[in-house]
Chains A and B, each alone.
Chain A
């Protein structure tokens, strides 16, 4: 308001409480209907976190129901803290991915650290010992100082937590895309290993049983983390939101892991749930609802970090490193002994009841399990109203007015590649791609993460999927995360399919069979029909891909409202896959292994450069379509490579993805120190053949005597396979032959080389220093 105006300022209307807490007027009416009365302040606070997008999945739930969630050997899945799948030998693997985007944008170190802590708790809450972490990170422009600050803080945070807690960080992603400028993504996947008999669920069974809280004390940190931070669009990098970011204590988490696993192993607890988003409100209501019970909770019994906390603050605090468990009364002394031995505060905070309500009192519970006579009930909410019967919103989905889709499978290659026209030398393009921020070595990042604690790491970070041996068996677990945001921005259905295809392919090329899929869906404001359409299309694409590739969705996480004043993020379906290799001695890796081996390309390229790293480099982003995906062919390719590896025919295998075939081959060569001399037949466009990212392709090497068997096997799967040449030397030489190459050379006026011919040292130099140069 300017100084000259004479109009008196309008009286300030205080925002009603429910709106301050992020509850809409319509939702308030729904709360009244559930309770049959007006909620009080405490109840409203509890509803506000439990009905937040983050806790309730109120926008995404109707979509997620369409996903295939059943699979062979599944012991726990969607609706549990983590998916659990049998791997034989009486063992099972637990895994899940989760986002911590907004907290990391506000306070990068703590946001990322507590992201690791939260997902680890989801794993050991199932009775599994966490054995690995993978972190998928996405940032804006690498040259922006703000980005550098975020990258540094988030990488330190992931490492600071994982290193201390003793879980190796074995893989992940680092992606730069301008759309993440104001809203970085921190998606963390954790994997755990358990004996089948250790499996335990997050439930509170048996009325009369004790409800105990152990771990850190409860403070004011993280108040409203779920509702304020995770479930609203970002206005800015707002420091006032900082109190909503939790503070992590990895040492406390380490103690919590050991104590929890001991309690579970000794069967001292009947159900166990971690306190994450929504704090004790979420842990009590979910545990009660799952068991069909209620919980009487004595607020006075909850150990506090600071005095003067209001009841509602205690109920929704997101203080980290806390667990809620149910035990038989006679086992409580033993439970207490375990916690005290690990130096963990523990309190008896409630009883399991029959009435299905979360009843919150102050004043203590008597020996009879009932509130003391002088106790006061301050809130009562049916548990299921907070969880299984929480509000659902059926959002509007509208495709954008103009969008591009991939051409139907089978459309012939086109020649509009832009490579010769722009006078680029393919070798320079290759070096530029290898040195680009998104394809260069991630060594600077992963060298800050302990990658080998626990002595299971077979494949260190940097060369594709992570491989962890399973002690006491011949088996290994293979894990990866992949998300394709560039194609998703053009076609969210295809982008999600491609993400699933690439993640599963990265597992299959080691010889492992993908067991299950966890997903982290990072999208914009669901109240915006275009953003919700992107989410809807992604779920449809993911579901279709999973059905064709026969992989169950075992759980995941939805992160919405990833927007900021500058715009929304590119829709990002982050896919985590865990696979099983029955015999780790059969493991195949991407680098070439032996000079003289044959190099074979399996699969064929399809047109379309949009969304590729080459298109970004060449500035072609708006001129083309993304390549199409034939899921049946993808399934055939993955079955083929597993079969070929199982028969011992394959020396190395690498999938063709970011940067295309040339980058894939260059990686096999650089990482092994072995060059190659290859001839690539070009039928259409050199740019598409060399740098196109059409899926369902891989490059493998094998002893020359195995090449015919591999080509025959590929034909049996209906896959084209062509021998490109031979491994050896210290240069990578790819001659381009055939019509496309000569045609293009004529157009170029024949001055541009029609071959890639470059020393490994030069490629290695570009690849090694790309990230440091970008940052």
Chain B
């Protein structure tokens, strides 16, 4: 099976996504930003980085790129799309997932290993997770998840909140100033999916914690969930 990883000119974590997919045993395919052709892949990862430099606002230009036309059509057909870090920002700017990513509350870039917990284990992006807290790195300057209260309530009702930042004890860091909430995200949200449940974005990097030599392979629980969901979807078509 083939999974695509989009490369915008300023993507830099595309190598991490390609590496993690190879570790997961699928064939990674690099998708160039200038073409809407997704080459028949079974799923798409929008990786981390600075898509077009992101000097204006993270992901704001990528939304208009040819490849995002292809990704939007793919998503509309029910294909699985996972946006990581900058990829989440691009998805939010493209309105493929709800909410927005604001500057970190510290107003500084934040790079550290955080703990997140899947909020449900029956979603296509978490169904291979154990449910235990997962350690994985963040590396972003604009990762503070924001949406208005009504939207947040709706997301919770619909089960669209897929991951939250948690403390070591597993308790959700709901408060913006909780030390376990690394960027001030509202209600401790680390990642969400769209209403249809086939497009998800998260700020932490599961693909960078894909091998134990890198400190942990916790991230593979999420990568495998995504890959297997894509496999099922492709087989069903």
Residues on A lying within 8 angstroms of B by beta carbon are 156, 159-160, 163-166, 249-252, 254-255, 258, 342-343, 446-458, 460, 469, 471, 584
Contacts and interface: CB of A to CB of B under 8 A. Distances in A.
A446 B20 CA distance: 25
B205 to A, nearest CB: 7
Given A452-B137, A458-B213, 7 more contacts: A164-B54, A343-B9, A453-B16, A453-B139, A454-B16, A455-B210, A458-B215
Interface stretch (B44-52, B172-180, B192-200): B44-52
Given A449-B111, A458-B214, A460-B215, A342 B15 contact: no
6 contacts: A156-B108, A254-B12, A447-B108, A451-B137, A452-B137, A455-B15
Interface in B9-36: 9-10, 12-13, 15-16, 19-20
B108 A448 contact: yes
A255 B9 contact: yes
Contacts of B53: 164, 249-252
B9 A450 contact: no
B204 to A, nearest CB: 11
B9 A455 contact: no
Contact of B214 (A165, A255, A455): A455
Contact of A251 (B10, B137, B205, B210): B10
A469 B211 CA distance: 11
B214 A164 contact: no
Contact of A452 (B9, B50, B141, B205): B205
Contacts of A166: 12-13, 49
Contacts of B19: 455, 471
B14 to A, nearest CB: 9
A254 B10 CA distance: 7
A457 B137 CA distance: 11
Interface string B212-224: 0111000000000
Contact of B9 (A159, A163, A254): A254
B9 A448 contact: no
Interface residues of B, number: 32
B95 interface: no
A771 to B, nearest CB: 14
A254 B205 CA distance: 20
Contact of B50 (A164, A342, A448, A451): A164
B93 interface: no
A575 to B, nearest CB: 26
B228 interface: no
A447 B214 contact: no
A254 B213 contact: no
Contacts of B102: none
A698 to B, nearest CB: 24
Contact of B16 (A163, A455, A458): A455
A456 B213 CA distance: 9
Contacts of B111: 163, 446-452
B1 to A, nearest CB: 21
A156 B104 CA distance: 14
B9 A342 contact: yes
Contacts of A252: 53
Contacts of A451: 111, 137, 139
B139 A163 contact: yes
Contact of A457 (B13, B52, B112, B214): B214
B10 A453 contact: no
Interface string B41-64: 000000011101111000000000
A452 B214 contact: yes
A317 B55 CA distance: 24
Nearest to B137: A452
Contacts of B48: 453
B233 interface: no
Contacts, number: 91
A255 B50 CA distance: 11
Nearest to B107: A156
A251 B50 contact: yes
Given A447-B112, A449-B111, A584 B208 contact: no
Contact of A455 (B55, B108, B112, B207): B207
Contacts of A251: 9-10, 50, 52-55
B110 interface: yes
Contacts of A458: 213-215
Contacts of A584: 213
Contacts of B52: 251
A128 B19 CA distance: 19
A453 B52 CA distance: 18
Nearest to B16: A455
B221 to A, nearest CB: 17
Contacts of A249: 53
A448 B106 CA distance: 11
A530 B155 CA distance: 69
A448 B109 CA distance: 5
A584 B49 CA distance: 28
B113 to A, nearest CB: 8
Top 5 nearest A-B pairs (CB, nearest first) are A166-B12, A251-B53, A450-B139, A455-B16, A164-B50
Nearest to B112: A447
B58 to A, nearest CB: 11
Contacts of A164: 10, 12, 50, 53-54
Contacts of B49: 166
Contacts of B205: 452
Contacts of B54: 164, 251
Nearest to A457: B214
Q: Which of B9, B20, B49, B211 counts the most A-chain CB atoms under 10 A from its CB?
A: B9
A695 to B, nearest CB: 31
B208 A453 contact: yes
Nearest to A165: B12
A223 B84 CA distance: 40
Nearest to B20: A455
A471 B208 CA distance: 13
A463 B37 CA distance: 46
Given A164-B53, A255-B9, A450 B109 contact: yes
B55 to A, nearest CB: 7
A525 to B, nearest CB: 36
Contacts of A457: 214-215
Nearest to A166: B12
Contacts of B139: 163, 450-453
Contacts of B137: 451-452
Contact of A254 (B13, B50, B109): B50
Nearest to A443: B112
Contacts of A447: 108, 110-112
Contacts of A449: 109, 111
Nearest to A476: B213
A746 to B, nearest CB: 48
Contacts of B214: 452, 455-458, 469
A492 B208 CA distance: 43
Contacts of B215: 457-458, 460
A453 B11 CA distance: 11
A469 B49 CA distance: 21
B106 to A, nearest CB: 9
A258 B15 CA distance: 13
B68 to A, nearest CB: 17
Contacts of A456: 214
B30 to A, nearest CB: 12
A164 B49 CA distance: 7
